[in-house]
């Protein structure tokens, strides 16, 4: 009986170790943010080196005449170019939308910038409900 209990215990430990070594989905953002008129809110995330990943996200905007916002997703090189007002190549560009869903493949070891841009609005602040996950690709 004691050998059986030890065997079961060791088997459970092995399965736990295997499960811990597998990459898991990570919730990066799940909240409402406010983007003031004429401004932007930015978030950045470093993608882990091991495994392949993708960002899965959604947003829904309220506030203002059309309840709309711009969303840019860029790697670090393109973010610097965008910030410096040079030509850039975003991984995702959604313009003046009330809501949206997206999936973006992410390169391991790269930092990605998520910019909610309300520069076009001179009158209205925007509230944006944002959900963003980093999901392993198997």
Domain count, the chain: 1
Phi and psi at residue 19, to the nearest 5°:
-65, -40
User: What's the predicted TM-score (pTM) here?
Assistant: 0.83
- What are the structure tokens assigned to 80, written together? 């610097």
Please report whether residue 11 resides in a domain.
no
Output the domain CATH number for residue 65. Answer: 2.60.120.680
Please report whether residue 5 resides in a domain.
no
Rounded distance between C-alpha atoms, residue 48 and residue 44, angstroms:
13
Phi and psi at residue 8, to the nearest 5°:
-60, -45
Q: What is the pLDDT of residues 3-32, one digit of tens each?
A: 666 656 555 544 555 444 568 899 999 999
Please report whether residue 19 resides in a domain.
no
Nearest to 30 by CA among 121, 137, 129, 114: 129
Q: What is the pLDDT of residues 57-92, one digit of tens each?
A: 999 999 888 899 999 999 999 999 999 999 999 999
Tell me which residue range forms the domain holding 98.
24-137
């Amino acid at each position: 009986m004691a050998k059986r209990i030890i065997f079961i215990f060791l088997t459970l430990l092995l399965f736990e170790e295997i499960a811990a070594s597998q990459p898991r989905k990570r919730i990066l953002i799940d909240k409402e943010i406010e983007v003031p008129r004429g401004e932007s809110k930015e978030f950045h995330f470093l993608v882990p080196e091991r495994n392949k990943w993708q960002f899965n996200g959604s947003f829904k905007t309220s506030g203002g005449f059309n309840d709309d916002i711009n969303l840019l997703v860029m790697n670090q090189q393109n973010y610097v170019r965008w910030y410096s007002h040079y030509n850039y190549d975003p991984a995702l560009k959604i313009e003046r939308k009330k809501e949206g869903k997206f999936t973006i493949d992410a390169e391991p070891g790269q930092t990605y910038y998520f910019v909610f841009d309300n520069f076009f609005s001179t009158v209205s602040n925007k509230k944006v409900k944002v959900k963003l996950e980093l999901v392993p690709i198997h």
